[in-house]
Structure 1
Amino acid sequence: MSSPKVAFITGASRGIGKQLAIDFAKAGYDVVCLARSTSDQPTKLPGTVDATAELVRQHGRRALALGVDLQVEEQLRAAVDRAYDEFGRIDVLINNAAIAIPGPTLPQPMRKWRLAMEINVNAPLALMMAACPRMTKAGGGHVINVSSEAAVFPEFGRASYTVTKAALESLNQCMAHELKPSAIAVNVMRIDVPIWSEGFVFTLQGMDTSDFEDPVIMSDACLWIADQPATYTGHILTITGMREQGIIRPRTRVGQRTL
């Protein structure tokens, strides 16, 4: 009997990443939960990787919670090593974690720009560098890079987010081409509707979020992508487009789920 598939999810302490971890567990995956916030070292926003891992276990799946600073390549490589030590495989790598730094660009110190590049572009690349050679040896897998419509419609006042999401999408297309012979599908899941998450709400500083959608729609999208053959690669998918195709459930607001 083969071992369960494994999903490796960054930004899994809250919001979309937490929802992905729960729903991949429901779909039968064991889950590696990665984020900076742990029960021992929580951040100012609610949620920890340990709490998410416990929710995964409540659905009968194994979970590994790893507190990692995504700016540190050595920690990212160590996290992939831990995942293989624990589960022996990674089938789906979801680069979900991101940082959006608000405010005018020129007054900000360069360290904030570098931070956005490290979290939003370099960390996904480092994880692909660490995981994909092993995925290749195992016969392939999936990489899903979570992006935003900011990549094509600039969000003025969040320049580093806009630029790094555009860079992530370009990186995705390059990696899809490079990894196609290895049977690793690399696709972008571009968020083009407002989805509720603690981080998003914090960044928006008091904006009305009552019309935001439930993060469960991202689970619909990512589970569908992970179920496609490895030849389905190099795509930039959107919530709106997948909904029009009937892949994602109808519009679902937070607290009004149709599960």
Structure 2
Amino acid sequence: MIEKPRVAIVTGASRGAGKGIALALGEAGMTVYVTGRSTAGPTGDLPGTIGETAAEVTARGGRGIGVAVDHASDESVAAFVEQVSAEHGYVDVLVNNVFAVPDGLTKPLPFWEQALDMGQMFDIGLRSTYVMTALAAPLMIADPSRRGLVVNTSGFGGTCFMHGPAYGAVKAGVDKMAHDFAVDLQSHGVTALSLWMGLLRTERTSRVLAAEPEKYRGADQTTESPEFPGRVIAALDAHADKERFTGRVLVAAEMAAILGVADVDGRQPASRRPLLGDPPRFSDAVVR
């Protein structure tokens, strides 16, 4: 009997962390659905489209499928899940990565001087994670023997002050959401967790570093490639005992050391925990 390929969904994968994660899962031989709004050309002033990412996933040894999805629309997400169901009937790996980055997010202003559109992160970041997972869950629990994996991408802003209260609330929210997903999914053989990424060398970050070279001198030596968290996710998915990580908030650099994963340049990135703090620990209590 021919084994069915692992099927993954990576949301927000036109560029940045999502693209890097999709490429790493493609290298692991997975069929990867790449979602986003950038189709014929990039949205905004950053490069990248879902088609380009999907093509590179295929070139890396997997099978990339680009699908235009508006993660602000429940109907758009539902239609996408119906497509995946019709084409494969199951999902093994779901990476909730799509995120809105409002203009001025990194400006050092008090929250009352920031634009109110910082709240768009609650829709494309927090709510989008809930909707995507709720709609995809039936495809993930259909066959417990496939031992599925849900990963919410997050970061140290979940516990330290970073970019203001709206950003912090979203990161803390997706961390707690992963823990609570795990409570319901565990009996169905699906692991759910949140993965804290470091400073990634994305298109956006590279532009910021280049704009103020003196301010960020040496910062490139502490960054991670966008593919690094994807390599960690692929290793977690293949782990014989990945269930022991369910419900937890994990630091990608620390998991890489445990799993024997290196970055694309062979380096072992250092955890930013000493600088930015510890991930949260949640109660084991369950109240229905």
Q: For the superposition of Structure 1 and Structure 2, which TM-score range results when normalised by the shorter chain?
A: 0.7 to 0.9
Q: Distance in 1 between matches of 2:168 and 2:115?
A: 17
Deviation of 1:43 after TM superposition, in Å, equals 3.3
Deviation of 1:77 after TM superposition, in Å, equals 1.6
- Which of 231, 234, 240 is equivalent to 1:220? 231
Q: CA 1:59–1:240 in 2, change beyond 3 Å: closer, same or farther?
A: closer
Percent identity over the alignment is: 24
Q: CA 1:10–1:199 in 2, change beyond 3 Å: closer, same or farther?
A: farther
Task: Give me the TM-score of the superposition, normalised by structure 2.
Answer: 0.79
Unaligned runs of 5+ in 2: 268-288
Matches within 5 A, 1:8-87: 8-40=9-41, 42-87=43-88
Deviation of 1:40 after TM superposition, in Å, equals 5.0
Q: Which residue of 1 aligns with 2:243?
A: 231
Task: Give me the TM-score of the superposition, normalised by structure 1.
Answer: 0.87
Aligned letter for 1:175?
F
Matches within 5 A, 1:82-121: 82-101=83-102, 102=105, 103=107, 104=109, 105-110=111-116, 112-121=117-126
- Which of 147, 156, 159 is equivalent to 1:152? 159
Q: Distance in 1 between matches of 2:47 and 2:62?
A: 23
Local SS of the residue matching 1:231: helix
Q: CA 1:167–1:194 in 2, change beyond 3 Å: closer, same or farther?
A: same
Deviation of 1:243 after TM superposition, in Å, equals 4.1
| Structure 1 contact 37–43 (Cα < 8 Å) conserved | no
| Structure 1 contact 26–59 (Cα < 8 Å) conserved | yes
Q: CA 1:69–1:203 in 2, change beyond 3 Å: closer, same or farther?
A: farther
Local SS of the residue matching 1:17: helix
| Structure 2 contact 25–62 (Cα < 8 Å) conserved | no
Aligned letter for 2:151?
I
Deviation of 1:245 after TM superposition, in Å, equals 2.7
| Structure 1 contact 32–66 (Cα < 8 Å) conserved | yes
Local SS of the residue matching 1:106: helix
Q: Distance in 1 between matches of 2:15 and 2:7?
A: 19
Mean alpha-carbon deviation: is it higher for 100-109 or for 49-58?
100-109
Q: Distance in 2 between matches of 1:87 and 1:178?
A: 23
Deviations 1:8-55 (A, max 9, x none): 001211122112111211111011001121125643210010001111
Deviation of 1:244 after TM superposition, in Å, equals 4.2
Q: Distance in 2 between matches of 1:23 and 1:243?
A: 14
Q: CA 1:28–1:117 in 2, change beyond 3 Å: closer, same or farther?
A: same
- Report the RMSD for the aligned CA atoms in angstroms: 2.3
Q: Which residue of 2 aligns with 1:245?
A: 258
Local SS of the residue matching 2:39: coil
Aligned letter for 1:78?
A
Local SS of the residue matching 2:13: coil
Deviations 1:84-134 (A, max 9, x none): 222332100001122344143223444x24310011111111011111122
- Which of 134, 140, 156 is equivalent to 1:129? 134
Unaligned runs of 5+ in 1: none
